[in-house]
A and B are shown apart, each in its own frame.
Chain A
Amino acid sequence: MDFSFSEQQQDVQNLARQILTEEVSAERQDVVDQQPDRFDKALWAKLAEAGLLGVSIAEKNGGMGFNFTELCFFIEEAGRTVAPIPVIPVLVSAALPIQQFGSVEQQRRLLQPLASGKTLITTAFMEPMGEDPATPLTQARPQGAGYVVNGVKTAVPLAHLSERVLISAKTDNGVVALMINPRAEGVTLVPLKVTSGEPQSEMRLENVLVATCDVLAGPEQGGELMTWAAQRTIVAYAAMQVGVSDKSMRMTASYTAERQQFGVPIATFQAVGHRAANCFIDVECLKLTAYQAASLLEADVDASTEVEIAKVWAGDVGHRVSFASQHLHGGIGIDKDYPLWRYCLWARHIELTLGSSASTLAKLGEKIAKGEAYVS
């Protein structure tokens, strides 16, 4: 057991923190907010230049070749600044499965431009009423060496700006993982307006042709790929929630130390200090469970229980810390001239992405019923 950070992990953390705190100012966020998309392209380019987009992309594919934990540290920092960049859908949900399951040709073609920030590849894990990408309703019918796809995906981040969208679809022989060109014939993107401001779309697929070169995994491996990718995505969101909730808690601690009522800083009221202390405990629980899951996934051991546990903490802690922070700030917490509101929106975004606390607990409960989740 080792809770220290390696030099490499610290380097990634420091580099990410430095660039993000320098670049993501309130003014800059406001400018991005005025644009049709919540996506800071200049920041993305800067992160690419620093090599951070390729943190866990192999060196042969133009990245740094580091591990999943390093990527999570970068994502935690993105959460700490609620930076308007699609780190998870692109760098985790899409890039990691391409690297793990894609052919050499696909890796070369797709990852290098992604790591250098030239292209985005996003992921469509959700369907209306469907939160598990390993069991899609969307159908794929083999045609030649490729597929014809029909179905609906929802909550697709940045689809209209992406080269490809990674989706799952079912065939008679199993689930396949395909890369959809969002500009292909038969694809309709309907923009959604969502809490976090992330530019999302509903993506309707009507007889969309997918060429062989865009088949990431056939029916023998597609389901496994989707579960593999979803687990990493969930843990990456938990890491992001660490950054989001830690920062909003610390913002709250500073604010209450300054804000005076009845002639004293409100932080000196035990009722205030104790609610903040509860947040501290919550954030610690989230941090430990998130990084345990990251560490186990990196070691490539079966970690589905630990991933579910991290997901429940990410949802619960995001919710509790968000509302405690708002409450302790009073009116200023909801004032859009003060940055807290952005954190609250992202905490919520993460809470409900890829399954809620309740649905995840139910999944874990089913596993318990099968005798598969004893405490070691």
Chain B
Amino acid sequence: MKVEFTPEQEALRTELRAYFDELMTPELRAEVDATPGEGGGELFWQAMDKLGKDGWIGVGWSKERGGRGMTAFEQMIFIEEVMRAGFPFPFLTTESVGPILADNASERMRDLLVPKILEGKLIMAIAYSEPGSGTDLASLTTTAIRDGDEWVIKGQKIFTSLAQHADYVWIAARTNQDPAVKKHKGISIFLVPTTAEGYDRTPIHTLGDVTTNATYYDNVRIPADHLVGELDAGWKLITSQLNRERLSLVNCGPVSQLLNETMQWADKNHYTNGKRVLDEPWVQMNLAKVRVGIEALKLMCYKQAWSITNDKLEMADASAAKVYGTEFFIEAYRLLAEVLGQVANEHLDSKGVQLRGRLEMMYRTASIITFGGGANEIQRDIISAAGLWMPRASR
């Protein structure tokens, strides 16, 4: 056991931090701050182009697939730095769906899409949830029916994030209606071009200003080779995609950056009585609590990235990190906002805004991932069953 970065890992982190310091010009920062979590602006695409040219997309992909061939651990270091920098890197496309697509899509689709992903020119949206299917994903009802050389997709999806910028939707649809077949064994994954006839979307505006979408599939016809992987075997792709996604969700880069910035803020700012904010004992206590919480999260992520690299990922550990991280974020943002006081309620566009309005924004977006990526209640069920061997209620 050696809970320290190797010199190579340390060097990678240093290199990436410097790289993103340079990439994040004030103009790009202003553009991405204005559309939280989304990207899609002109400067964003220029930055994606540069990231692609510099070989930073697909850090963890194999060299044969055009990536850098690094391990999941280096990939996590990359994500930590990109998130710390505040760049809305489309990691769901590049790190989560991407490698699975590369391994499972038809040859034609793979050759068409993979280079574009690695060049930073293509974003995918993921369409799993439906108005009646969230964490209980196996209950989804969108159908795909084979008709000659095509598949016909019919149904409605909700919370299809990034669909407004996406070229393709990675969609889960039911391909087997046989009631004797278990629900999760009749689902397949397809690639739906957002230009297809019968496809439509309407934006959903959220509390956190992040735009997501409802997407509609009115007998959308797609070629047969837009099926990804085996027919009816989509569940496996979904779960392995979600495992990768969860690790990125609780990456500690952004909260670490925010703590450091809050400490600097509290060092520079004084109350009307002349006292430095950082000299208040309660401020020190709040900051110390966040510092203590971050360390555990960091180690959980490191351990998981190490486990994925060594093919030892335990289901309960992945769920534990997801629950801990998402709930810790909420507590951490609160403790940090208390340090800033009322100014933590000022929006990015407001006159007196501090720390680029991050804490105000975080307050409004933090709850997304406690239910997103699989509700924490279900993650706790997984932990007690898979980690502690406790029997579960049948449902």
* Chain A interface (Cβ < 8 Å from any Cβ of B): 1-6, 9, 69, 249-250, 253-254, 256-257, 264-265, 267-270, 272-274, 276-278, 280-281, 284-285, 288-289, 291-292, 295-296, 299, 301, 305-306, 308-309, 312-313, 361-362, 364-366, 368-369, 371, 373-375
| Pair A299/B4 contact, Cβ less than 8 Å | yes
A289 to B294, CA, bound (A): 11
Q: Which 5 A-B pairs have the closest CB atoms?
A: A365-B284, A273-B384, A288-B299, A285-B296, A253-B388
Q: How far is the CB of B299 from chain A (nearest CB, A)?
A: 4
**Which one of B260, B279, B299, B377 has the highest number of Cβ atoms from chain A below 10 Å of its Cβ?**
B299
**Which one of B4, B379, B385 has the highest number of Cβ atoms from chain A below 10 Å of its Cβ?**
B4
* Chain B interface (Cβ < 8 Å from any Cβ of A): 1-6, 9, 73, 252, 256, 259-260, 263, 267, 278-279, 281, 283-285, 287-289, 291-292, 294-296, 298-300, 302-303, 306-307, 310, 316-317, 320, 323-324, 377, 379-381, 383-385, 387-393
| With known contacts A1-B306, A280-B387, A291–B381 Cβ distance under 8 A | no
22 cross-chain CB contacts under 8 A: A1-B9, A1-B73, A2-B1, A249-B388, A250-B388, A268-B392, A269-B393, A273-B384, A273-B385, A277-B388, A284-B317, A288-B303, A289-B296, A292-B295, A299-B4, A312-B292, A361-B292, A362-B288, A364-B291, A368-B284, A368-B288, A369-B279
Q: Which of A69, A257, A301 contacts B1 (CB 8 A)?
A: A69
**Which one of B5, B6, B393 has the highest number of Cβ atoms from chain A below 10 Å of its Cβ?**
B393
Q: Provide the residues of chain B in CB contact with A292, threshold 8 Å.
A: 3, 295, 299
A288 to B9, CA, bound (A): 19
| Pair A280/B384 contact, Cβ less than 8 Å | yes
Q: Provide the residues of chain A in CB contact with B381, threshold 8 Å.
A: 270, 273-274, 277
Q: Which of A1, A256, A371 contacts B6 (CB 8 A)?
A: A1
Q: Binding site of A, secondary structure by majority: helix, strand, loop or mixed?
A: helix
| With known contacts A3-B3, A5-B1, A368-B288, A313–B310 Cβ distance under 8 A | no
Further pairs besides A274-B380, A288-B300: 16, Cβ < 8 Å: A3-B307, A9-B1, A69-B1, A253-B388, A254-B389, A268-B393, A273-B381, A274-B377, A277-B379, A285-B296, A285-B299, A289-B295, A365-B284, A371-B267, A374-B263, A375-B252
A309 to B287, CA, bound (A): 12
Q: Which of B4, B288, B291, B392 contacts A1 (CB 8 A)?
A: B4
Q: Provide the residues of chain A in CB contact with B283, threshold 8 Å.
A: 365
Q: How far is the CB of B57 from chain A (nearest CB, A)?
A: 23
A176 to B381, CA, bound (A): 54
Q: How far is the CB of B272 from chain A (nearest CB, A)?
A: 20
Q: Provide the residues of chain B in CB contact with A374, threshold 8 Å.
A: 260, 263
Q: Provide the residues of chain A in CB contact with B252, threshold 8 Å.
A: 375
Complex: chain B residue closest to A368, CB-CB: B287
| With known contacts A1-B73, A309-B292, A375-B256, A273–B1 Cβ distance under 8 A | no
A213 to B391, CA, bound (A): 61
Q: How far is the CB of B383 from chain A (nearest CB, A)?
A: 4
Complex: chain A residue closest to B319, CB-CB: A277
| Pair B383/A277 contact, Cβ less than 8 Å | yes
Q: Which of A4, A270, A371 contacts B377 (CB 8 A)?
A: A270
A289 to B316, CA, bound (A): 18
Q: Which of B4, B6, B260 contacts A296 (CB 8 A)?
A: B4
A306 to B303, CA, bound (A): 17
Q: How far is the CB of A242 from chain B (nearest CB, A)?
A: 13
Q: Which of B284, B306, B377 contacts A2 (CB 8 A)?
A: B306
Q: How far is the CB of A8 from chain B (nearest CB, A)?
A: 11
A109 to B188, CA, bound (A): 73
Complex: chain A residue closest to B390, CB-CB: A267
A141 to B356, CA, bound (A): 58
| Pair A295/B2 contact, Cβ less than 8 Å | yes
**Which one of A284, A308, A309, A374 has the highest number of Cβ atoms from chain B below 10 Å of its Cβ?**
A284
| Pair A273/B392 contact, Cβ less than 8 Å | yes
Q: Which of A274, A278, A284, A362 contacts B284 (CB 8 A)?
A: A362
| Pair B387/A1 contact, Cβ less than 8 Å | no
| Pair B388/A369 contact, Cβ less than 8 Å | no
| Pair B391/A267 contact, Cβ less than 8 Å | yes
Complex: chain B residue closest to A367, CB-CB: B288
| Pair B284/A369 contact, Cβ less than 8 Å | yes
Q: Which of B3, B324, B391 contacts A291 (CB 8 A)?
A: B3
| With known contacts A253-B388, A362-B288, A368-B278, A4–B310 Cβ distance under 8 A | yes
